[in-house]
Structure 1
Amino acid sequence: MKFLKTIRAWWRGLFRKRRFNMLNATDNTEEWHMHLSPASILAGLVAFMLMLFILTLSLVAYSPILEFLPGYRTEADRSRESLVQNIIRLDSMERMMNDMLTYNENIALIMEGRTPVARVLASSDSSRISKVLVMPSHEDSLLRAQMEGDGEYAIAGQGGSRRQVREAIELATPVEGIITGKFDIRQGNFGVKIAATAADRITAIDNGTVIQSLWTPETGYIVVLQHAGNLISVYKNLSQSLVTTGQTIRSGELIGYNAEVQDGEVRLFEFELWNNGKPVDPEGYIVF
């Protein structure tokens, strides 16, 4: 019973109003007063805390106030940077896929004996916008005429220096024989034709990787090697291929055999050399 009486007394005291007044310090007269109970003070504090919580929640949800907080600003910057990096990676992957498709298409054209085509980049590619060509000057035209002509400084007349450059490259001869067909793009000859012994050994001109090894009715077995410096060597008219795609080959290693005798004739061995996606004269790189 005593406990119940204590609770009742405490409950009544909670709602019992108290008088708060303000007195003048000079004559001790009352200037202002207010009646408050402990329950009303508690309700006022709860209401104030609730309003403060709602205001804080509204500021966080509908204003950029979090950007000014050190920790939250760092997380926002990281998210933004991560998004930008992912976009850049996707763009780079798309370019790489396009380059790989173009590369495979050019290899297929090379195998068919046709000239590969260069991919035309879209104008939206901001990193590879075509630059404005500078027109050659009169002096440049004169120098070009001297270099391409038959004069003292003509490139065609420097046979000895060209041989030294070819020997410095150190590319091995694919097969011993006599060149019967010269390199001529205008006539569709993207390489040289070599008359070699039937079933003779065909070797790699340099270290590389096999990117194609297949057979066609027109050219027999074909082997394509990828070398350093964007150099590709193509071996056609083989009677047998001893390599597989993806295999690593060393310079001078056996990759196949020359065509065998058919109807009393031997098909000429064809050798092509491509540099940066363009056919080049093998005699400018290899001393046959």
Structure 2
Amino acid sequence: MWSFFADLVQKVGTEQTIVVMDAEGVGKTRRHHVRPSRMVAMWGGSLAAAGLLAALLVAFTPLRTQIPGYGTEEMKESARLNTLRVRALQDSLAAQRDYIQRLRRLITGRVEPAPPSDGARSESGAGGGAVATGEAGPPASEGPSGASARNAHQQPAFAPSPRSGATASAPGGLSFPLSPPVANGFPTRGFDVATGHYGIDVAVSEGDYVRSVGDGYVVWADWAQDGGYTIAVQHAGGYLSVYKHNKRLLKQLGDRVTAQEPVAVTGNTGAVTTGPHLHFELWQNGLAQGPDAYIAGW
């Protein structure tokens, strides 16, 4: 066999005749005229085509990942980016869980008063327009004990003056003074930090509409043990309005509401209630505000 190929290679450019016959010389003899140069070109072309096909398969298919060492840097970079994304997602979920827990404590009334801060006191005292407790301010005859109780819950909130005749536009989209959330009713218990009452109770008839004090989105609409059917609306600027002891809720979590749009029906639900009334709270950036300084007529 090797001698046959050696004879072909020796005379590559000349045409040669190959005789095919049986070993015993019996049968028909067949002659083939071949040119070795053409045979070499065909073999070389076939090998080149096979190599090109293999290169294409490796370059454009996942087979390249099976080559040891190929794409190692790219895979390391991808793994690093995925790790960063997972950590960012974990941080986001942790922050969301913390926000939900704080909102749950806010809705259920389990809010601890913030410790007094000398810096916050000095800022609230020098700001002029800011009110420490979120109310119009204690009477001049109030004793030191009452003032210390109010200062125990710092409220760096914007409280428009009730005496300003024009309607002011506050940071966050709420327009002050706010319209009352109920058309008929009168306050029976005010905002009192010392006793942990971070809102105002308004006596109402059962079955009246409870209206949102501003545009926003419903972030809570569920039953609470103390507050009964409770709904909370998140407004721009960090403001949150809460409406408790409702008979029925008219909105669901995630609904968008506009100012003075009905969100619930007044009632007498929940463990902490002595009759049909609305417990209304107003918060800003996690701090309770005195609603009577914000609501017209209260």
Whether the aligned pair in 2 keeps the contact of 1:222 and 1:234 (CA below 8 Å) is yes
From 85, 102, 112, give the equivalent of 2:81: 85
The corresponding residue for 2:161 is 159
Q: Residue type of the partner of 1:174?
A: P
Residue 102 to residue 180, structure 1, CA distance change in 2 (3 Å): same
Q: Is the 8 A contact 1:198 1:266 kept in 2?
A: no
Match of 1:95 in 2: 91
- Whether the 8 Å CA contact 2:245–2:268 is kept in 1: the answer is no
Question: Which 4+ residue blocks in structure 1 deviate beyond 4 angstroms?
Answer: 6-11, 75-81, 143-148, 155-158, 160-168
1:275 to 262, 267, 284: 284
1:17-32 equivalent positions in 2, closer than 5 A: none
Decide whether the 8 Å contact of 1:214 with 1:221 is kept in 2: yes
Structure with higher Rg: it is 1
2:240 touches 2:282 (CA, 8 Å); kept in 1?
Answer: yes
1:1-288 to 2 correspondences below 5 Å: 7=4, 78-115=74-111, 159=161, 168=170, 169-170=174-175, 171-176=178-183, 177-216=185-224, 218-259=226-267, 266-288=275-297
Residues 160 and 86 (structure 1 numbering): CA distance in 2 closer, same or farther, change over 3 Å? same
Q: Report the secondary structure of 1:237's partner residue.
A: strand
TM-score by length of 2: 0.52
Count how many residue pairs are aligned between Structure 1 and Structure 2: 197
SS in 2 for 1:174: coil
Higher helix share: 1
Q: Which amino acid aligns with 1:248?
A: R
Query: Residue 229 of structure 1 aligns to a residue in which SS?
Result: helix
Q: Secondary structure of 1:159's match?
A: coil
Tell me how far 1:268 sits from its aligned partner: 2.5
Where relative contact order (Cα < 8 A, 6+ residues apart) is larger, the structure is 2
Gaps of 5+ in 1: 14-71, 119-134, 149-154
Tell me how far apart the structure 2 counterparts of residues 224 and 183 of structure 1 sit (CA, whole Å). 18
Contact in 2 for aligned 1:210/1:245 (Cα 8 Å): yes
In 2: Cα distance, 1:232 partner to 1:194 partner: 18
State whether residues 166 and 285 of structure 1, in contact with CA within 8 Å, keep that contact through their aligned partners in structure 2.
no
Partner of 2:46: none
- Distance in 1 between the 2:5 and 2:111 partners? 104
Q: How many Å separate the matches in 2 of 1:179 and 1:216?
A: 22
| Identical-pair percentage | 24
Instruction: Name stretches of at least 5 consecutive residues in structure 2 with no aligned partner.
Output: 11-68, 129-135, 139-159
* Cα 1:213–1:156 shift into 2, 3 Å: closer
> 1:252 and 1:287 mapped to 2: Cα distance?
13
In structure 1, distance between residues paired with 2:209 and 2:252: 17
* Matched residue type, 1:115: V
Q: 1:77 to 1:247 in 2, by over 3 A?
A: same
- C-alpha spacing 1:78/1:212, structure 2 compared with 1 (3 Å): same
In the TM superposition, residue 101 of structure 1 has moved relative to its aligned partner by 0.8
Residue identity matched to 1:93 = L
What secondary structure is seen at the aligned counterpart in 2 of 1:179? Answer: strand
Deviation for aligned residue 1:86: 2.2
Deviates more, 1:188-197 or 1:211-220: 211-220
Q: Aligned partner of 1:159: which letter?
A: S
TM-score by length of 1: 0.54
